């Protein structure tokens, strides 16, 4: 299955889903662009995210925050001091020096019990996590065959500078996690929209990290996108809301994937938990490289609002007007990666069967919902009729409809299968006599005849499933 990943990478480039950024200059590690098909798939994913947040749930408010914020935000959040990965380099491997995340290697090499024991010894001896990591890894063989060296701290924040006069520029950071603007706008949402607790603020936004580990296509990018929701609650109700959002997010992912068993929860061990978190669960997807995190369901308590209160001087105390209770709201966070979900959906959808490749994407996610073909290219009456059907469908359904008259019909089906178009409509000789077309189903390859005046309803009906 390892080569499934290679197949996806190749399909992404060949069929316009994902392009390596700055490719004509040799590319830049950890940055990818969306091609036309990738853009459409991603738009559909985001549309479903917003539908989930705003239509399926009450009391969630959408925002769009900036990429650069006041530099103090990242001191308050703890990122400037501690947003760092432990990195270890191997030397002497066949491909030269290679960097690894120390925590990832340790998890592969040691059992949970061994790690617990190492943690306890470290506490007794009063040595730092980095020193523990070094003890566990130094001199050991790396996966590339090289030898591991000292473990070092590596800051993940991407720095930039603001200002035009050299020497007077101020340094700032690109968002290390998208959600910070949600805390910054919390009070504004409260004052302008007047929601009552519990309520949520959701956002899809960019994040930037100087990742240590070697890039693995879209799993670990330096510029990526997160879909987040922070739900502000009365501390007394935290447990209930935490469980609620954990289940809701998993159900949402499951509704989009074919193989429901390829998704699971992974509970964080005590030594992984942030100090303010009572518990944390990741929603993971089973990739050919093992289980990988797609979204975290985090217990943030009052950490974020209290820290921003402390650093800004703003008082975030909330008064419940019905009970008179005063508290700093606690937060349940759902924080997922759009790029990882994008990759997981493609891995889940990829099929090779009976000489054809097709993407079994959820019809609501496919870049194109419908493709329209004239059976032949040299009959004006068929082409004119097919153009009329194409325009009618596009305008009446407002769905993503594409015209395709390249090559023969077989090749067109093949091309649409590879980008996951669920329905292909062909206008043939019979259409000219009875105003019906064939609709071919991507997954079964079965065709049925549908009259043109029922076509829009027919497709809409299919999309309801």
Residues that bind ligand ATP (CB under 6 A): 177, 209, 211, 220-221, 224, 226, 293-296, 335-337, 339-340
Buried b (16+ CB within 10 A) or exposed e, 216-228: ebbbbbbbbbbbb
- Name the helix (H) or strand (E) containing 243: helix 238-256
Residue nearest to ligand ATP (CB): 337
Kindly state the smallest distance separating residue 86's Cβ from ligand ATP, in Å. Answer: 12
Specify whether the CB–CB gap between 410 and 3 falls below 8 A: no
Kindly state the smallest distance separating residue 53's Cβ from ligand ATP, in Å. Answer: 16
Kindly state the smallest distance separating residue 84's Cβ from ligand ATP, in Å. Answer: 11
Give the nearer residue to ligand ATP in terms of CB position, either 203 or 226.
226
Cα 140 to Cα 85, 118, 134, 149, 301: the distances in Å are 19, 16, 10, 8, 39
d(CA 81, CA 393): 56
Kindly state the smallest distance separating residue 433's Cβ from ligand ATP, in Å. Answer: 53
Kindly state the smallest distance separating residue 177's Cβ from ligand ATP, in Å. Answer: 5
Kindly state the smallest distance separating residue 298's Cβ from ligand ATP, in Å. Answer: 7
Beta strand pairing status for 223-233 and 147-155? unpaired
Closest by Cα among 242, 233, 243 to 330? 233
* Chain centre distance of CA 126: 38
Give the nearer residue to ligand ATP in terms of CB position, either 300 or 308.
300
Peptide bond into 202 cis (omega under 30): no
Give the nearer residue to ligand ATP in terms of CB position, either 134 or 335.
335
Give the nearer residue to ligand ATP in terms of CB position, either 339 or 404.
339
Give the nearer residue to ligand ATP in terms of CB position, either 38 or 336.
336
- Please tell me the total number of residues recorded for the chain in this structure: 465
Kindly state the smallest distance separating residue 163's Cβ from ligand ATP, in Å. Answer: 28
- DSSP 3-state of 280: strand
Give the nearer residue to ligand ATP in terms of CB position, either 115 or 370.
115
Task: Return the C-alpha torsion angle 311, 174, 345, 58, nearest 10.
Answer: 40
Give the nearer residue to ligand ATP in terms of CB position, either 211 or 428.
211
Specify whether the CB–CB gap between 295 and 282 falls below 8 A: yes
């Amino acid at each position: 299955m390892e080569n499934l990943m290679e197949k996806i990478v190749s399909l992404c480039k060949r069929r316009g889903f994902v392009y390596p950024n700055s490719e004509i200059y040799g590319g830049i590690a950890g940055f990818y662009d969306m091609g036309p098909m990738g853009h459409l798939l991603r738009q559909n994913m985001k549309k479903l995210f917003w539908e989930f947040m705003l239509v399926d749930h009450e009391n969630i408010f959408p925002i769009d925050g900036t990429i650069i914020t006041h530099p103090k935000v990242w001191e308050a959040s703890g990122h400037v001091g501690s947003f760092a990965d432990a990195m270890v380099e191997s030397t002497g491997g066949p491909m030269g020096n290679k960097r690894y995340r120390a925590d990832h290697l340790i998890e592969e090499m040691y059992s949970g019990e061994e790690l617990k024991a190492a943690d306890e010894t470290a506490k007794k001896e009063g040595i730092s996590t980095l020193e523990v990591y070094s003890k566990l890894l130094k001199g050991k063989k790396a996966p590339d065959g090289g030898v591991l060296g000292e473990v070092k701290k590596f800051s993940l924040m991407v720095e930039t500078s603001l200002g035009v006069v050299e020497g007077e520029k101020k340094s700032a950071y690109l968002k290390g996690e998208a959600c910070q603007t949600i805390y910054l706008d919390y009070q504004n949402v409260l004052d302008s929209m007047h929601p009552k607790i519990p309520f949520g603020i959701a956002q899809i936004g960019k994040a930037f990290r100087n990742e240590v580990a070697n890039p693995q296509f879209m799993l670990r990018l330096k510029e990526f996108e997160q879909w987040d929701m922070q739900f502000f609650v009365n501390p007394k109700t935290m447990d209930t809301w935490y469980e609620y959002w954990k289940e809701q997010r998993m159900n949402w992912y499951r509704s989009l994937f074919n193989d429901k068993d390829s998704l699971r929860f992974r509970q964080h061990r005590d030594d992984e938990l942030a100090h303010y978190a009572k518990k944390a669960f990741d929603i993971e997807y089973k990739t050919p490289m093992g289980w990988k995190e797609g979204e975290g369901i985090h217990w943030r308590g009052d950490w974020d609002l209290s820290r921003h209160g402390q650093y800004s001087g703003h008082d975030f105390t909330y008064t419940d007007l019905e009970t008179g209770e005063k508290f700093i709201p606690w937060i349940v966070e759902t924080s997922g990666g759009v790029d990882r979900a994008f990759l997981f959906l493609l891995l889940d959808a990829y099929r090779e069967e009976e000489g054809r490749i097709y993407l079994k994407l959820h019809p609501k996610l496919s870049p194109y919902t419908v493709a329209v073909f004239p059976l032949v290219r040299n009959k004006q009456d068929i082409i004119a009729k097919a153009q009329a059907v194409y325009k009618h469908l596009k305008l009446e359904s407002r769905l993503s409809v594409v015209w395709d008259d390249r090559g023969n019909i077989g090749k067109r089906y093949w091309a649409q299968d590879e980008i996951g178009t669920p329905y292909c409509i062909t206008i043939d000789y019979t259409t000219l006599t009875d105003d019906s077309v064939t609709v071919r189903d991507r997954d079964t390859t079965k065709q049925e005849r549908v009259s043109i005046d029922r076509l829009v309803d027919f497709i809409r009906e299919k999309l309801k499933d």
